[in-house]
Structure 1
Amino acid sequence: MTTPSQDSRADPAKDGAAWLRRGAIAIVAAAALLVLTFGQGRDQAIYTMVARSVVDGGMPYRDAWDFKPPGIFAIYTLARALFGAAPWGIRVIEALGLVATSFGLVVLARRLWKEATVGHVAAALAALVHAQLDFWHTAQPETFGGMLTVAALVVALRAAPRGPALVAAGALFGLAGLLKPPLAGGGAVLALWLSLRRRRDDPDASPRDLLAPFAWVLLGGVTPFAVTFAVFAARGALADLHQTLFVFTPHYTALGWEGRLFGAMLYQAVSEWLVEHSSAMGLGLLLLLARGPAGWSRPGLPLLLGIVGIQLLGVALQGKFFPYHYAGLWPVTALIAALGWVETARALLARGRMARVGLAALVLAGLLARSATKDVHGTFWRRAARRLRVFTWDRDDQPTIDGLATVADLDAQSNRRVAAALRSLTPEGEPIYVWGFEPALYDLADRPPASRYIYNIPQRVPWSASWARPMLLADLAAHPPAAIVVVDNDALPHVTGDGRTSVDLVDGDDPFVELRQMLQRDYRRAAAIQDFTIFTRTR
Structure 2
Amino acid sequence: MLAEPSASLRSVRGLRLPRPRTERATAPPAPYWPRLLPLLAALACVTRIPSFRWPLWSPDEGYLAVQARMLADGGELYETVVDRKPPLVPWLYEGTFALFGDETLLPLKVLAVAAQLLTAVLLVSIARRRWGDGAGRTAGVLYLFISVGLNPEDAQAATFEVFMLPCTAAAIWCADRRRWGAAGTAVACAFLVKQTGGAVLVPVAWLLWQAGAVRKDVLRLGVGLGAPVLAVAAVTTPAGFLFWTVTGSGAYASFTGSELHVLLRGLTNAAILAAACAGIIPPVARVLRVARTGSAELWLWLASSAGAVLVGFHFFGHYYLQLTPSLALLGAAALQILPRERTLTAVSVSAGACALFLAWGMLAPRPELAHAQRLAGEIQTRTAPGERVLVWGIHPETYWLADRAPASRYLTAGLLTNYSGGRDGPQVGEKYAVDGAWPVLRGELAADPPALIVDDSRGKPYGPDRVPSLRRILAVSYRPVLRVEGMVVYARVDRAR
TM-score (norm 1): 0.73
Equivalent residues in 2 for 1:26-425 (5 A)?
26-37=42-53, 39-85=56-102, 86-113=104-131, 115-133=132-150, 134-137=152-155, 138-158=157-177, 161=178, 165-198=179-212, 210-233=214-237, 238-255=238-255, 276-279=272-275, 281=277, 283-291=279-287, 301-346=295-340, 360=345, 365-367=349-351, 380-384=357-361, 386=363, 404-406=365-367, 411-425=368-382
Q: Report deviation, 1:274.
A: 7.5
Q: What is the letter of the counterpart of residue 422 of structure 1? A: I
1:230-259, Cα deviation, whole Å (9 max, x unpaired): 1123xxxx4433443444301210135998
Runs of 5+ consecutive residues of structure 1 not aligned to the other structure: 1-14, 199-208, 350-358, 374-378, 387-402, 492-499
How many residues matched?
446
Residues 182 and 67 of structure 1: CA distance in aligned 2, closer, same or farther (over 3 Å): closer
CA shift digits 1:149-175 (9 cap, x unpaired): 1122333433xx3xxx32122111111
Larger Rg: 1
Superposed CA RMSD in Å reads 3.5
Distance 1:347 1:412, change over 3 A: closer
Instruction: Return the offset for 1:229.
Output: 1.3
Instruction: Judge conservation of contact 2:248–2:435 (CA < 8 Å) in 1.
Output: no
Amino acid at match of 1:216: R
Q: 2:203 is aligned with what amino acid? A: V
Amino acid at match of 2:240: D
Q: Deviations over 1:144-200 (max 9, x none)?
A: 222211122333433xx3xxx3212211111111233343242343233233234xx
Q: Which amino acid aligns with 1:526?
A: V
Q: Distance in 1 between matches of 2:459 and 2:110?
A: 30
Preserved contact between residue 431 and residue 450 of structure 1 (Cα < 8 Å): yes
Which amino acid is the alignment partner of residue 146 of structure 1? L
- 2:202, 2:301 within 8 Å by CA — same for their partners in 1? no
Higher relative CO (CA 8 A, sep ≥ 6), structure 1 or 2? 2
Residue of structure 2 in register with 1:435 after alignment: 392
Q: Structure 1 256/100 Cα, relative in aligned 2: closer, same or farther at 3 Å?
A: farther
Q: Deviations over 1:333-362 (max 9, x none)?
A: 21211233344351659xxxxxxxxx64x6
Paired AA for residue 145 in structure 2:
L
Aligned equivalents of 1:385 and 1:127: distance in 2?
17
Q: 1:176 to 1:62 in 2, by over 3 A?
A: same
Establish whether residue 484 from structure 1 lines up as the match of residue 450 from structure 2.
no
Aligned residue for 1:250, secondary structure, equals coil
Q: Which residue of 2 aligns with 1:7?
A: none
Is the 2:69–2:94 contact (alpha carbons within 8 Å) kept by the matching residues of 1? yes
- The runs of 5 or more residues in structure 2 that have no matched partner are 1-30, 418-428
Change (3 A) 1:490 1:109: farther
Q: For 2:409 and 2:34, how far apart are their aligned partners in 1?
A: 54
Judging changes above 3 Å, is the alpha-carbon distance between structure 1 residues 194 and 246 closer, same or farther for their aligned structure 2 residues? closer
Moved more, 331-340 or 214-223: 331-340
Query: Which residue number in structure 2 is paired with residue 444 of structure 1?
Result: 401
Closer/same/farther in 2, CA of residues 427 and 35 from structure 1, 3 Å limit? closer
Shift in CA distance, 364/279, structure 1 to aligned 2, threshold 3 Å: farther
Q: Is the 8 A contact 2:78 2:244 kept in 1?
A: yes
Contact 1:147 1:331 in 2 (8 A): no
CA contact (8 A) 1:111 1:157 kept: no
Identify which of 478, 493, 496 aligns with 1:538: 493
CA contact (8 A) 1:195 1:213 kept: no
2-side partners of 1:335 and 1:324: how far apart? 20
1:145/1:512 CA distance change after superposition, 3 Å: same
User: Counterpart in 2 of 1:201?
Assistant: none
Name the CA distance, whole Å, in 2 between partners of 1:34 and 1:59.
33
Q: Is 1:455 aligned to 2:455, yes or no?
A: no
Shift of 1:485: 0.8
Conserved? CA contact 1:451–1:479, under 8 Å: no
Map Cα deviations across residues 55-97 of structure 1 (whole Å, 9 max, x no partner).
2222233212322233332333333333332122321211111
Show CA shifts across 1:108-134 (max 9, x none). 122222x23222222222222323332
- In the alignment, the residues of structure 2 paired with residue 127 and residue 309 of structure 1 have an alpha-carbon distance, to the nearest angstrom, of 21
Aligned to 1:525: 480
Distance 1:95 1:19, change over 3 A: closer
Amino acid at match of 1:483: L
Out of 456, 468, 491, the residue aligned to residue 512 of structure 1 is 468
- Residues 276 and 517 of structure 1: CA distance in aligned 2, closer, same or farther (over 3 Å): closer
Partner of 2:13: none
Deviation track 1:419-453 (CA, whole Å, cap 9, x = no partner) reads 12211211121111112222111111111111111
Q: Which amino acid aligns with 2:141?
A: A
